[in-house]
A and B are shown apart, each in its own frame.
Chain A
Amino acid sequence: MSSPNNRIVFENVSKFYGEVLGVNRVNLSLPPGITSLVGPNGSGKTTLMNLMTGLVRPTQGTVSVLGLTPDQPEEFFRHVGYCTQFDSFPKGLTGYEFIYQGLMLRGITRQEAHRLTCEAIERLGMTEAAPRKVAGYSKGMRQRIRLAQSIAHHPTVLVLDEPLNGLDPMARAETIALFEALGKQGLHVIISSHVLHEVDKISDQVVLMSYGYVVAEGQIHGVRSEVKEHPMQILVRCGNPSGLAARLFSQDHVVEAKLNRDGKGVLVRTRDADQFYVLLNRIVVDEDFGLEAVTPADDDVNSLYQYLIGGSGGQV
């Protein structure tokens, strides 16, 4: 378990913009790794990120990032890198200048700033485009140069507001691989994204938000197990699905057993997944159903989104 000084901690944090609610009574303690913020527009994701990066101050409560608060800006901003969701660039700068200027503003010396700029540009594959003005970049290139500026100073907390927007599939895959690598190295990578299936693949934990409230947080599987009102769906592929369905349906915790249209599987809805797996083990040992695969069908962010927030989860 990570120490309190290695976490991003929100203690009873509320933020109101006048009478408009940003976030309300948020209590979070985020460990290193990739954390996804998921929620519809206006749910408070960006406010939460702005609070994390010290751009807005909470109306109530306290936020600390690795034990630091924005009242210690020198040390705080040394650790935090932020990539906003806005297509925002100071006018007239080249890609190189954009990153270099940012590093100089952080107080990094010229030589070091040049070295770190080149390193970040290379990491995001922008070496050829770097001497050109940002204004002439494509949307994907702009997104990448923004990512480069957010990682250039080697932050330990990387806050990325919809970082995958506008990236082509290749760049998306490369960027996700970069996040995964950074997460594995022990960084806090906080991502908000509307592309839930991608978030699902890379997240160590997820924070679901709705109307300014944190609806759920934790590891996806753990959160899913807590959602008792929606029985877990498990897809079992086998040669004799109707036989298996008959055996399973006799159990109390199995709410529904639905045969697949292709006749080669059964979708089971159970209130107790752990008990179901124990039962399944027993059944396949007793009788040969030609079992091919067992996969959770709704143990993902998309399903959590639908259950806890409602609406379509594919593209929020």
Chain B
Amino acid sequence: MAVYKRTYKAYRGPLTPAWSRFTVLSRYGFSTLFESRFFTAFVVLCMVPFLVCTVFIYFVHSATAQAILNLRFGNNIVNSGWFLGFLGVEAWLGFIVAAWAGPGMVSKDFANQSVQLYLSRPLSRAEYLLGKVSVLGSLLSGTTWIPALILFGLQAELEGHGWGWNNLWLAGAIVVAGLLWIALISLLSMALSVWVKWRIAATALMIGTFFLLPGFGAVVSAVMRTRWGNLLNFPYLITLVWAHLFRLSPRHIHVVGDHVPLWAAWAVLLAVCGFCIWILNRKLKAREAVRG
């Protein structure tokens, strides 16, 4: 019979709260992304529209500045349409950030077979994804709804007369619109990268989904003489939903044929998000298959 000298001591020291573990992945995710100077420069570039709009709001409310530059802005120029325009510009910059950063987040772990390593720690698949998505979510929030809310606050402060309270719904619309966009592109970039497990292919698919699929949808609409082909045009669908959230008429949105109903736009966007979650759940496994 073996006699074991029980000299070994398992670690019994303090532990951090379980809910905070995913932030370790986020931290490493950020540090990896910002190792690239191009990426850092691009994120800084995303702030330019915000700075321009900040200066614009200041000019709108400064008679002195307008007089110096010999400019004159009309009343109520900073309205829901203006905020939608700002969010639109930032959303497309955010799309580039997501197409750049998103696919590499998970596909690198798949390519390096390190998912198993993460999950052999007290970290669930959901927490692993949360750690990865939170990087994209923070970056995209920082380039979309957060600057838009800051501009809203600035406008409310400079406009006065209860403008902020009267337009509080606009703040809600900014947050919901931003979060919807972030959820769509984050989940799509993650799901595509988990699916193809190759960063370049995932980025190409992401771009194809947003730029080629609408073309296909337009062809379907034109050939079949239907409006339902537009359901393949995600940028159109999101703009339609945003227009509703910002209480604007969708008339100015360019589309082949008639507009699709609002409920259909919501349904497709939510279904895409749901499908991405399903793919992530299916593909993100703690085991690796040995082939050959």
Q: Are B8 and A73 in contact (CB under 8 A)?
A: no
Residues of A within 8 A of B120 (CB): 53-55, 77, 80, 82, 84
Residues of B within 8 A of A61 (CB): none
Residues of A within 8 A of B259 (CB): none
Residues of A within 8 A of B118 (CB): 90, 105
Closest-by-CB residue of B relative to A205 is B2
Question: Is A107 an interface position by the 8 A CB rule?
Answer: yes
Interface size on B (CB < 8 Å)?
A: 42
Residues of B94-136 contacting chain A, CB below 8 A: 108-109, 111-114, 116-124
Min CB gap B24→A, angstroms: 4
**Contact for B122 among A42, A74, A154, CB less than 8 A:** A74
Q: Are A89 and B11 in contact (CB under 8 A)?
A: no
Q: Are A46 and B290 in contact (CB under 8 A)?
A: yes
Query: Could you tell me the distance between the alpha carbons of A154 and B287 in the complex, rounded to whole angstroms?
Result: 23
Q: Are B119 and A186 in contact (CB under 8 A)?
A: no
Residues of A166-194 contacting chain B, CB below 8 A: 182, 184-187
Residues of B248-292 contacting chain A, CB below 8 A: 286-290
Min CB gap B68→A, angstroms: 50
Q: Are B114 and A90 in contact (CB under 8 A)?
A: yes
Question: Is A33 an interface position by the 8 A CB rule?
Answer: yes
Question: Is B71 an interface position by the 8 A CB rule?
Answer: no
**Contact for A90 among B8, B10, B21, B112, CB less than 8 A:** B112
**Contact for B109 among A46, A80, A90, A184, CB less than 8 A:** A90
Residues of A within 8 A of B114 (CB): 88-90
Residues of A within 8 A of B122 (CB): 73-74, 76-78, 105-107
Closest 4 CB pairs of A and B: A88-B113, A185-B8, A107-B15, A55-B286
Q: Are A56 and B32 in contact (CB under 8 A)?
A: no
Known A-B contacts A105-B123, A108-B16; the reply to A184 vs B108 at CB < 8 A is no
Min CB gap B104→A, angstroms: 8
- Per-residue CB contact flags for chain A residues 269-313 toward chain B (1 = under 8 Å, else 0) read 000000000000000000000000000000000000000000000
Question: Is A50 an interface position by the 8 A CB rule?
Answer: yes
Known A-B contacts A33-B4, A185-B7; the reply to A112 vs B13 at CB < 8 A is yes
Query: Could you tell me the distance between the alpha carbons of A107 and B2 in the complex, rounded to whole angstroms?
Result: 34
Question: Is A102 an interface position by the 8 A CB rule?
Answer: yes
Known A-B contacts A55-B116, A88-B117; the reply to A154 vs B4 at CB < 8 A is no
Closest-by-CB residue of B relative to A22 is B287
Q: Are B113 and A109 in contact (CB under 8 A)?
A: no
Query: Could you tell me the distance between the alpha carbons of A56 and B120 in the complex, rounded to whole angstroms?
Result: 10
Residues of B within 8 A of A55 (CB): 116, 119-120, 286-287
Q: Are B121 and A106 in contact (CB under 8 A)?
A: yes
**Contact for A156 among B5, B8, B119, CB less than 8 A:** B8
- Per-residue CB contact flags for chain A residues 101-126 toward chain B (1 = under 8 Å, else 0) read 11011111100100010000000000
Question: Is B56 an interface position by the 8 A CB rule?
Answer: no
Question: Is B211 an interface position by the 8 A CB rule?
Answer: no
Residues of B5-58 contacting chain A, CB below 8 A: 5-11, 13-18, 21, 24-25, 28, 32, 35
Query: Could you tell me the distance between the alpha carbons of A42 and B9 in the complex, rounded to whole angstroms?
Result: 35
Residues of A2-34 contacting chain B, CB below 8 A: 17, 32-33
Closest-by-CB residue of A relative to B108 is A91
Question: Is A217 an interface position by the 8 A CB rule?
Answer: no
Residues of A within 8 A of B28 (CB): 90, 93, 97, 101
- Chain B positions near chain A (C-beta within 8 angstroms): 1-2, 4-11, 13-18, 21, 24-25, 28, 32, 35, 108-109, 111-114, 116-124, 286-290
Q: Are B5 and A186 in contact (CB under 8 A)?
A: yes
Known: A46-B290, A88-B117. 16 other contacts (CB 8 A): A53-B120, A55-B119, A55-B286, A78-B122, A80-B120, A82-B120, A84-B113, A88-B112, A90-B117, A91-B108, A102-B121, A105-B25, A154-B11, A156-B10, A185-B5, A186-B7
Closest-by-CB residue of B relative to A50 is B287
Question: Is A87 an interface position by the 8 A CB rule?
Answer: yes
Q: Are B10 and A112 in contact (CB under 8 A)?
A: no
Query: Could you tell me the distance between the alpha carbons of A238 and B24 in the complex, rounded to whole angstroms?
Result: 66
Min CB gap B122→A, angstroms: 4
Q: Are A33 and B2 in contact (CB under 8 A)?
A: yes
Query: Could you tell me the distance between the alpha carbons of A155 and B32 in the complex, rounded to whole angstroms?
Result: 29
Query: Could you tell me the distance between the alpha carbons of A32 and B10 in the complex, rounded to whole angstroms?
Result: 14
Q: Are B35 and A92 in contact (CB under 8 A)?
A: yes
16 A-B pairs with C-beta separation under 8 A: A33-B4, A41-B290, A50-B286, A73-B124, A86-B116, A88-B112, A89-B112, A91-B112, A102-B121, A105-B121, A107-B18, A108-B13, A109-B14, A154-B10, A182-B8, A187-B8
